[in-house]
Amino acid sequence: MARTVWDSTVGKKTVMAVSGLIMLLYLVVHMIGNLKIFFGAGEFNHYAHWLRTVGEPFMHYEWTLWLVRIVLVAAVVAHATSAYQLSRRDIKARPSKYVHKKPRAGYATRTMRWGGIILGLFIVWHILDLTTGTVHPGFQAGHPYQNVVDTFSTWYGNVIYIVAMLALGLHVRHGFWSAAQTLGVGSRARDRALKTIANALALLLTAGFIAVPVGVMTGLVS
């Protein structure tokens, strides 16, 4: 039954919707955590340490964090795989381009695929930069506040992050509304409310995440 559901277009869209909502929930929590940087190094570093001790003593050190990481990786893989397969299925369904292009799709809709690619590449860079320190000269393990300040003290760190967050905003704006339609929550009566929520979430996440590099650039965080 699971294979039958997965092979269907509706099944793949449902996987995309559920995995997208899981990632959206994580993004909201992650953004709130990031904003702790405005309360100083002690507060931010304490929060980063707390993430590794959540659930103790029942859970061992970092077990909860790794459980969250596993769920997120599974959500990202499921989301990307279903998106790719749906895209390929859509192309096969209409192998020749339309004679007349219909301008009914908004900017966010037209850029969903490229936005997904940008975000995928950003996730890899973000992990290598602030988690493993592989591409971060001067990375200091156990000093997340200083590592964040170092990253956003470079022009390329700011450009990469801000571009990715703008792509995230567009992705959330369309994706939230699309997920609601897929899961049967959307209706003509709720359409305006759902689009308002989608716009608010997109704006909140974009502004919340971009506030950190802006804070470093302006000297508010140093």
Low-confidence ranges of the chain (pLDDT < 50): 100, 103-104, 106
Cα(180)–Cα(115) distance, integer angstroms: 20
Instruction: Report whether the peptide linkage leading into residue 57 is cis, meaning its omega lies within 30 degrees of zero.
Output: yes
Cα(149)–Cα(57) distance, integer angstroms: 32
Cβ 82 vs Cβ 19: under 8 Å: yes
| pTM for the predicted model, two decimal places | 0.88
Cα(193)–Cα(151) distance, integer angstroms: 38
Cα(46)–Cα(41) distance, integer angstroms: 8
Closest listed residue to residue 163, CA positions, set 127, 211, 115: 115
pLDDT at 104: 46
Cβ 36 vs Cβ 47: under 8 Å: yes
Cα(49)–Cα(52) distance, integer angstroms: 5
pLDDT at 95: 59
pLDDT at 177: 86
